Amino acid sequence: MTRQIYRQLRERILDGRLKPGDRLPASRELAEELAVARKTVTNVYDLLLSEGFLESRVGSGTFVAAGISKRRNSTARAASPIVIPEPWERLSLRLAPSRQGLPFDFSLGVPDSSRFPFPLWRSLLASQARLLSQNASAYADPQGYGPLREAIAKYTAFTRAVVCDSNDVIVTNGAQQAFALIASVFASSATTVAVEHPGYDRARWLFESHGARIAEVPVDEEGLLVERLPRQAKVVYVTPSHQFPLGVRLSLPRRLALLEWAAKHGAVVIEDDYDSEFRFAARPLDSLQSLDRQGVVLYVGTFSKVLFPGVRIGFLVAPEPLRSALIAARQLTDRHGPLLVQAALARFVQEGHLARYIRKMRRIYAERREKLLHCLETDLAHSLELWPSVAGLHIAARVKRGLSGDEVAASAERAGVSVQSLGEHGIALGYGAIEPGQIDEGIRRLRQSIDRAEVGFCGKVNGR
Ligand SMILES: Cc1ncc(COP(=O)(O)O)c(C=O)c1O
């Protein structure tokens, strides 16, 4: 209510319906008229007074301030004289919030946070808030809270064989900020950045936003086709454990070839290891970083999938010579992340809650994954061919019957099913957001929508 009343009054002052010197009703009167608390109105008046739209004259009331000139165009804003530079015009359209909320939700990148131990998390936050309030007046370490770096180093060394200690770790606000720091140091308009195709758009767009030239490198069942890397690339972005979005893993020969290529060409390799904690078959290959003898790999991890995206904590493990530039970039971006969440997370990891939670969620996701695979294999084997994958929270599939991923996703959406189109590469289905009880029906509807899309497709082909 405060915002609404504030906006309306402000708008009336700006478009001249309320003129300089006009008296506003007493706060009690206006509150009565609008059926709101008097405090709401006094808050609005205070805000407009502090911004100079109103002035108060002791003993006589509140008035529209003298000297406020009417805006030229009364209701709509005039076309802005400011031109948004490319590529931001285009990126802002692509990153506009998308619609959501379909009943059968196979969206990608969404973990199930309903089983997260929030009461425990709240008590860790509360106890850390008490500790931090004793030392709140200084800026903290831009590299991240020491005990959290320590905990992350132990955890990634153990789970992903990442070779590091706490000095190698930089805590970031999610993986995306790790990419942003890397981009600010290594990508400019003179840089070629190689990305997987198909790949993770948010990393690609980030490099585009720095003006870098993007080289798309194709992916097959063994991951990135290393021999297709352009020699001028100075940054290579890969998802070796669970290729995004196809789900394949980078084979050992290709890993070795990639490292050799990067060392030869003086290129950094970003290893985005975003969801490999959830693995369901054979033990996955250790991280690419664990094979790196030349110091070319920047390993990026995130807590967005293992905990929940809103925790906004990720990390970067960087070899020594590259680290200080990345820490400097962090200082110039936002100095450092908020300490409270870092401190609570450090305790969460140190006390073994993270490992326990991952074990629990792995069982839950394994059940959904099995169910989904079963349904896909029984109901949709004639339409979809699955990409091989053993980890993560989604499965990708080629569409066999001449249909594109876009056609299938659009038809599924009309049936209340959300799946991700991968264009000519097919579709992907996440199982983080969907309850097992909904999988059968979701896949049944998907099958029907593929059948319907096919009828439309055949109609087009036959010229009907
Ligand atoms: C390929 C990939 N990398 C990284 C992330 C995680 O990003 P963040 O840690 O910024 O939430 C995601 C999330 O969807 C992803 O799909």
pLDDT in tens, 168-201: 999 999 999 999 999 999 999 999 999 999 999 9
Higher pLDDT, 107 or 402: 107
| pLDDT for position 285 | 80
42 lines ligand 1 (CB under 6 A): no
For a ligand 1 pocket test, name from 113, 170, 179, 200 the mutation site with the most ligand atoms within 8 angstroms of its C-beta.
Answer: 200
| pLDDT for position 83 | 87
Higher pLDDT, 211 or 75: 211
109 lines ligand 1 (CB under 6 A): yes
Residue 126's contacts (CB-CB under 8 Å, 6 or more residues apart) are none
Q: pLDDT grade, residue 461 (50/70/90)?
A: low
What is the distance in A from the centroid of ligand 1 to the CA of 201? Answer: 10
Cα–Cα distances in Å, from 138 out to 147, 219, 367? 17, 47, 47
User: Which residue CA neighbors atom 15 of ligand 1 most closely?
Assistant: 274
For a ligand 1 pocket test, name from 302, 312, 345 the mutation site with the most ligand atoms within 8 angstroms of its C-beta.
Answer: 302
| pLDDT for position 220 | 96
Task: In whole angstroms, give the CA distance from residue 313 to residue 391.
Answer: 21
The minimum-distance atom of ligand 1 relative to the CA of 175 is 9
| pLDDT for position 287 | 96
pLDDT over threshold 60, residue 76? no
Give the pairing of strands 394-399 and 61-64: unpaired
pLDDT in tens, 416-425: 999 999 999 9
pLDDT over threshold 80, residue 75? no
Q: Is residue 399 within 8 Å of 384, Cβ to Cβ?
A: yes
User: Which residue CA neighbors atom 14 of ligand 1 most closely?
Assistant: 109
What is the distance in A from the centroid of ligand 1 to the CA of 240? Answer: 14
pLDDT, average across residues 106-117 = 93
| pLDDT for position 120 | 98
pLDDT over threshold 70, residue 81? yes
Task: In whole angstroms, give the CA distance from residue 202 to residue 237.
Answer: 11
302 lines ligand 1 (CB under 6 A): yes
Q: Is residue 57 within 8 Å of 66, Cβ to Cβ?
A: no
401-425 residues labelled b (16+ CB within 10 A) or e (exposed): eebbbebbbebbeebebbbbbbeeb
Output the pTM of the full model. Answer: 0.83
Q: Is residue 311 within 8 Å of 341, Cβ to Cβ?
A: yes
Which segment of 151-155, 266-270, 318-322, 402-406 scores lowest on mean pLDDT? 402-406
Q: Is residue 15 within 8 Å of 70, Cβ to Cβ?
A: yes
CA-wise closest residue to 141 among 171, 174, 183: 171
| pLDDT for position 408 | 94
| pLDDT for position 99 | 58
Q: pLDDT grade, residue 158 (50/70/90)?
A: very high
| pLDDT for position 138 | 87
272 lines ligand 1 (CB under 6 A): yes
Q: pLDDT grade, residue 68 (50/70/90)?
A: confident
| pLDDT for position 71 | 66
Higher pLDDT, 335 or 58: 335
pLDDT, average across residues 103-129 = 94
290-306 residues labelled b (16+ CB within 10 A) or e (exposed): bbbeeebbbbbbbbbbb
| pLDDT for position 132 | 84
Give the 3-state secondary structure of 181-214.
HHHHHHCCCCCEEEEEECCCHHHHHHHHHCCCEE
| pLDDT for position 309 | 93
What is the distance in A from the centroid of ligand 1 to the CA of 110? Answer: 10
- Average pLDDT of the residues of the chain: 91
pLDDT in tens, 300-359: 999 999 999 999 999 999 999 999 999 999 999 999 999 999 999 999 999 999 999 999
What is the distance in A from the centroid of ligand 1 to the CA of 361? Answer: 18
What is the distance in A from the centroid of ligand 1 to the CA of 274? Answer: 6
What is the distance in A from the centroid of ligand 1 to the CA of 163? Answer: 22
User: Which residue CA neighbors atom 7 of ligand 1 most closely?
Assistant: 175
User: Which residue CA neighbors atom 13 of ligand 1 most closely?
Assistant: 109
Q: pLDDT grade, residue 464 (50/70/90)?
A: very low
pLDDT in tens, 5-39: 898 898 888 888 898 999 999 999 999 888 889 99
Give the 3-state secondary structure of the chain.
CHHHHHHHHHHHHHCCCCCCCCECCCHHHHHHHHCCCHHHHHHHHHHHHHCCCEEEECCCEEEECCCCCCCCCCCCCCCCCCCCCCCHHHHHHHCCCCCCCCCEECCCCCCCCCCCCHHHHHHHHHHHHHHHHHHCCCCCCCCCCHHHHHHHHHHHHHHHCCCCCHHHEEEECHHHHHHHHHHHHHCCCCCEEEEEECCCHHHHHHHHHCCCEEEEEEEECCEECHHHCCCCEEEEEECCCCCCCCCCCCCHHHHHHHHHHHHHHCCEEEEECCCCCCECCCCCCCCHHHHCCCCCEEEEEECCCCCCHHHCCEEEECCHHHHHHHHHHHHHHHCCCCHHHHHHHHHHHHCCHHHHHHHHHHHHHHHHHHHHHHHHHHHCCCCEEECCCCECCEEEEEECCCCCHHHHHHHHHHCCEECEECHHHCEEEECCCCCHHHHHHHHHHHHHHHHHHHHHHHHHHCCC
Q: Is residue 145 within 8 Å of 313, Cβ to Cβ?
A: no
